[in-house]
C-alpha cells in the first residue's frame, strides 16, 4: 500500500472511530471509482471495519484489527 493510501486508510479508520457512522454515510463520504484509492473497500477486505447489519441503519464499526492499527498510529 502506498504512503498516501496508508494515510487515507488511517484517516478513514479515525473517521469511523470518532462517532457512530451509518453504511450510507460511509458510502457517500468514502466511495471511490478510482481503482487506486479504494480506501473503503480495502478496509472491508482487510477486516478493519465491518457493517453491523443488526441495526436498521447498518452501522459501520471498527473491528479489533482496525482498532489495533489506529491505536498503533496514535502511539507513534
Nine-digit cell at 21? 457512522
What are the beta bridge partners of residue 61?
50
- Band (pLDDT 50/70/90 cuts) for residue 52 is confident
Find where cell 458510502 sits: 27
pLDDT the model gives residue 53: 81
Mind listing the domains of the chain with CATH numbers? 3-75 (1.10.10.10)
1 pLDDT higher than 70: no
Alpha-carbon gap, residue 32 to 64, rounded angstroms? 25
Strands 49-52 and 21-22 come out as unpaired
Structure-model confidence comparison of residues 34 and 25, the more confident one? 25
Provide the terminal-to-terminal Cα distance of the chain, rounded to the nearest Å.
19
Residue 36: CB atoms within 10 A of its CB come to 8
Amino acid at each position: 500500500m502506498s504512503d498516501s493510501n496508508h494515510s487515507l486508510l488511517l484517516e478513514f479508520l479515525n473517521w469511523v472511530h470518532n462517532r457512530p457512522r451509518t453504511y450510507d454515510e460511509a458510502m457517500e463520504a468514502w466511495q471511490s471509482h478510482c481503482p487506486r484509492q479504494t480506501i473503503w473497500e480495502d478496509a472491508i477486505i482487510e477486516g478493519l471495519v465491518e457493517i453491523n447489519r443488526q441495526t436498521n441503519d447498518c452501522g459501520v464499526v471498527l473491528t479489533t484489527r482496525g482498532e489495533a492499527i489506529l491505536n498503533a498510529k496514535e502511539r507513534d
